[in-house]
């Protein structure tokens, strides 16, 4: 079982660098894992990654990782900027009204296969 989880994680983090946004799909996936499951076990983080990757393969969802992560109902504000509607996103962190930059990485641990 551990080997299966490690293989899924390796696939998630072995994505090509060119992607649908300037930061890349790897960044989108990492950001989603951080905000959805940073306080979870490694298996929980892999599960979040797996949900995103499965949705990319499903025709009902966008065909890029960033497209899936940032899929939301959008609304124009008084300044003319498009913003995600509160609680109308695929992943709750994207439209919760809070900042989308990680606060700290100190509590995150990577498996030894991802040593930096």
pLDDT digits (tens, 9 = 90+) for 70-100: 898 888 989 998 888 888 888 888 887 777 6
**Dmax over Cα atoms in the chain, in whole Å?**
51
Handedness of CA 93, 96, 101, 107 (dihedral sign): negative
Secondary-structure class of domain 2-114 per CATH? mainly alpha
Is the pLDDT reported for residue 16 higher than 50? no
Burial degree of 29 (CB within 10 A; 0-12, 13-18, 19+)? buried
Tokens of 45: 């983080």
- Contacts of residue 115, defined as CB under 8 A and 6 or more positions apart, other chains included, come to none
Kindly state the average pLDDT of the residues 27-39.
89
Is the pLDDT reported for residue 108 higher than 90? no
Is the pLDDT reported for residue 14 higher than 50? no
Kindly state the average pLDDT of the residues 4-25.
51
Dist CA 116 CA 75 (whole Å) = 40
User: Which residue do the tokens 């998630």 mark?
Assistant: 12
Give the model's pLDDT for residue 44: 92
């Amino acid at each position: 079982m551990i080997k299966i989880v490690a293989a899924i994680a390796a696939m998630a983090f072995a994505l090509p660098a060119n992607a649908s946004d300037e930061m890349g799909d790897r960044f989108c996936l990492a950001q989603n894992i951080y905000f959805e499951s940073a306080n979870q076990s490694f298996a929980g983080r892999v599960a979040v990654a797996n949900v995103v990757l499965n949705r990319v393969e499903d025709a009902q969802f966008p065909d890029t990782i960033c497209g899936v992560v940032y899929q939301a109902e959008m609304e124009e504000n008084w300044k003319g900027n498009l913003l995600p509607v509160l609680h109308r996103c695929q992943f709750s962190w994207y439209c919760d009204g809070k900042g989308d930059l990680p606060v700290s990485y100190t509590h995150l641990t990577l498996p030894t296969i991802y040593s930096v």
